[in-house]
Amino acid sequence: MKISDIGHAFVTGGASGIGLGAAQALEACGVRVTIADINPEQIDAAVSASGGKMRGALLDVRDREGWASAKAEAEAAFGPVDLLFNNAGICSTGYELADMDPESFDRIVGVNLYGVFNGISAFAADMRARRRGHIVNTASFVGIAAPIRGVGGSYVASKFGIVGLSEVLRMELAPHAVGVSVLCPGHIATGMGRNTARPSSDARKVPGLGATPGGKVEDLVPRLFAGIEANDFYIISHCEDDWASVQSRCVELEEAFARARAAKA
Amino acid sequence: MKLETARHAFITGGASGIGLAIGKALAGLGVRVTIADIDRQAIDAALAGEGAAFRGAVLDVRDRAGWAAAKAEAEAAFGPVDLLFNNAGIASFGYQLADMEPEAFDRVIAVDLTGVFNGVSAFAADMRERRHGHIVNTSSMAGICGPSQAIGGSYAAAKFGVVGLSETLRAELAPFGVGVSILCPGVTVTNIAQSSMKLGGDMRLPPAREPDSAAHAAPSPFESGSASDLAARVLHGIEEDVPYIIAHGRGWWPFAEARHVALEKAFEGMR
């Protein structure tokens, strides 16, 4: 689907970071954009900065009724959504799984994984019926790579989950001409740390983690757009040199299958 | 972990299938076994066939207060748990993600992913402190393979999540001498379909799978195996402290490899 052919994009986590960067670039290409976010001040700032061209939707991606009304209002204003960017996410750093507050686990998985499902639940059937659309789910490099010290297991679980869910979704929607991509960014300079810290006990500073400045959203957006247009499944950004960490998992799995075959011999 | 040092295993989904088979194998080695399950009748039936090495615990793995009580009672009876099997799971089949009842999605994630976290939450800190133990989390081929017609999206999401969680857990606990392994079974003869439907009807077999058409069905490319064969693989995996325990894997490797190839292409394409 060409970016310039997109009628209406719905972007969660759209008021800052990757979501806002994508939204602004889409708007500049003539796409009508709804930015959905949990933060009303950031929504207002983003909508103002667009000269009122973008519209905002206050949405907690865990809230299913909220999704239904956000969709109805968005489509009444800007027509059917043909690009869904399930991008809202919060992070967890500095807490080991054995010590993690269960409510924190629920919150991370709730926003990151359930939130993505809720977006699919709201929009995918209509895209399928119209045989038109593209869904991008934001996972992470940590959803495909070996563990990184200090990155929370709840975050990794949620991001692996998004990858698995997206793989099935792509297979299910392909016969209906709806594309699906999963965005796997490395370390990007966004507000995710700040956005997470507000609820509380999910993230604390880890020496050495995020020590180098993150990549720029402006550099990620062209990758994202190229991936949507080519209907690539994995859209990788700012971790291109980290294949070894992804490959190590593949190698371990291959060894495990080999062990299983040898056990039968 | 050397199994000769194991004293007490706590197994969720322990009253049937994979869980019960693992319990029996461990009891054969002299380990005491708590089988935790949501199904009281299945627990009673399982215990009726076993001796003093077994006890039961009625537990819904989504229930955190239930976990605390089950742990306290188990350890009062059989001592500290040094082997934890987060094995309870339900499946989902026959529903596309776009059509799935949200409550059904929630249920699969809650049991299959959050339930695993709850077990870790209950037992891992104590194992870490004692510097002794092993945790096996049951994922699936659905957690490591690219999609196939057999796998529902909610199940894949949960089982991929278990893999991610467990890999991190393994790295976190290794410095403390506590092992973590991820069990990835292929098709195993168990009650998962019935158990899933009892909790809420998330299973819908495609029309071609009606019972009376079984004789005409094409042979499956996937091997199907017994829970007891799988249990032997699990014990071996614990002893060797391997990260992945593959069981009944024949036919699945191409689906795992397909992901690896696609990932490699994605990275090459970016350079």
Flag if A109 and B113 touch (Cβ within 8 Å): yes
Q: Which of A114-118, B157-161, B249-253 has the lowest mean pLDDT?
A: B249-253
Q: With left for phi above 0 and alpha for psi between -120 and 50, is residue B179 left, alpha or beta?
A: beta
Please check whether residue A120 touches B, CB under 8 A.
yes
Q: Are A108 and A156 in contact (CB under 8 A)?
A: no
Judge whether A182 is closer than 8 Å to chain B, CB to CB. Answer: no
pLDDT at B146: 87
C-alpha distances (whole Å) from A163 to each of A38, B24, B171, B232 are 23, 35, 21, 31
Query: Which residues are registered as beta bridge partners of A83?
Result: A9, A134
Using a CB-CB cut-off of 8 Å, the residues of chain A touching B100 are 121
Answer yes or no: is pLDDT of A199 > 60. no
B220 touches A at CB < 8 Å? no
Cα distances from A68 to residues A61, A169, A180, in angstroms, run 11, 20, 21
Q: Are B102 and B27 in contact, with CB atoms under 8 Å apart? A: no
List all residues of chain B from 67 to 96 with a beta carbon under 8 Å from chain A: 96
For the purposes of burial, counting CB atoms within 10 Å of the CB of B125, is it exposed (0-12), middle (13-18) or buried (19 or more)?
A: middle
Please answer whether residues B227 and B18 qualify as being in contact, where contact means their C-beta atoms are separated by less than 8 angstroms: yes
C-alpha span between B155 and B139 (Å, rounded)? 10
Lowest-confidence region among A105-114, B8-17, B168-177, B203-212:
B203-212
| Reported pTM | 0.95
Residues from chain A contacting residue B118 (CB–CB below 8 Å): 102
Of A106, A157, A237, nearest to B165 by CB-CB distance is A157
Q: Tell me the C-alpha distance between A64 and A145, whole Å.
A: 31
Out of A106, A161, A237, the one facing B161 most closely (by C-beta) is A161
Asked if the model's pLDDT at residue B196 lies above 90, the reply is: no
> How many angstroms separate the CA of residue B144 from the nearest CA in chain A?
8
Q: What pLDDT does B211 receive?
A: 41
What pLDDT sits at residue B240?
96
In 3-state terms, chain A is what percent helix, strand and coil (to 5)?
Answer: 55, 15, 30
Contact A210, A187 (CB under 8 A): yes
End-to-end CA distance of chain A: 49
- When mean pLDDT is compared across A15-19, B117-121, B140-144, B198-202, the lowest value belongs to B198-202
Task: Tell me if B212 is assigned to some domain.
Answer: no
**If you average pLDDT over residues B247-258, what whole number do you get?**
89
Query: What is the predicted ipTM?
Result: 0.95
CATH of domain A3-264: 3.40.50.720
- For the stretch A1-20, pLDDT in tens is 999 999 999 999 999 999 99
pLDDT at A29: 97
Q: Note the pLDDT of residue B204.
A: 63
What residues does B179 pair with on adjacent strands? B134
- Where does the pLDDT of residue B221 fall: very low under 50, low under 70, confident under 90, or very high at 90 and above? confident
Mean pLDDT (whole number) for A35-53: 96
Q: Is beta strand A178-185 parallel, antiparallel or unpaired with respect to A133-138?
A: parallel
Between A260 and B212, the higher pLDDT residue: A260
Lowest mean pLDDT among A122-131, B15-24, B100-109, B249-258: B249-258
What average pLDDT score do residues B238-263 get? 93
pLDDT attached to residue B212 = 43
CB contacts of A247 in chain B (<8 Å) are 260, 264
CATH code for the domain of B122:
3.40.50.720
* pLDDT for A256: 94
Residues of B in contact with A149 (CB under 8 A): 171
Structure tokens at A228: 């949507």
The reply to whether B9 falls in a domain is yes
Q: If DSSP states are collapsed to H, E and C, what string results for B113-176?
A: HHHHHHHHHHHHHHHHHHCCEEEEEECCHHHCCCCCCCCCHHHHHHHHHHHHHHHHHHHHHHHH
Per-window interface: A 212-251 vs B, CB < 8 A: 223, 232-237, 240, 243, 246-247, 249-250
B95 catalytic per annotation: no
Q: What residue has token string 């991509």? A: A181
Query: B110, B124 in Cβ contact below 8 A?
Result: no
Residue with tokens 């999206």: B153
Strand bridging mode B54-58 / B32-37: parallel
What is the C-alpha to C-alpha distance for residues A43 and A40, in angstroms, rounded to an integer? 5
Closest of B98, B144, B103 to residue A260, by C-alpha: B144
Residue B244 in contact with partner chain A when CB distance is under 8 A: yes
Indicate yes or no: CB of A113 within 8 angstroms of CB of B157: yes
A171/B contact by beta carbon, under 8 A: yes
Task: Summarize pLDDT for B34-63 with one digit per residue, the tens.
Answer: 999 999 999 999 999 888 999 999 999 999
pLDDT at B52 (0 to 100): 93
Partners of B37 in the beta sheet? B58
Contact B270 A170 (CB under 8 A): no
Q: Identify the CA nearest to B12 among candidates B49, B58, B76, B73.
A: B58
- Contact A107/B at CB under 8 A: no
A77 touches chain B (CB under 8 A): no
pLDDT band for B207, please (50, 70, 90 cuts). Answer: very low
Question: Is B206's pLDDT higher than 80?
Answer: no
> Is residue B211 domain-resident?
no
Tell me, yes or no, whether B77 lies in a domain: yes
Single out the catalytic residue among B155, B202, B230, B234.
B155
- Residue B210 pLDDT greater than 50, yes or no: no
Place of tokens 């529903």: B95
Q: In terms of residue numbers, what domain contains B242?
A: 3-205+218-270
Six token digits for residue B18: 């994979």
The pLDDT of residue A231 is above 90: yes
Query: What is the rounded distance in angstroms from the CA atom of residue B138 to the CA atom of residue B116?
Result: 8
Model confidence at A153: pLDDT above 80: yes
Number of domains in chain B: 1
- Check CB contact of A72 with chain B, cutoff 8 Å: no
Of residues B25 and B204, more confidently modeled: B25
Higher pLDDT, A35 or B95: A35
Checking if the pLDDT of B216 tops 70, the result is no
For residue A251, which phi and psi values (nearest 5 degrees)? -65, -45
Provide the pLDDT confidence category of residue B140 given band limits of 50, 70 and 90: very high
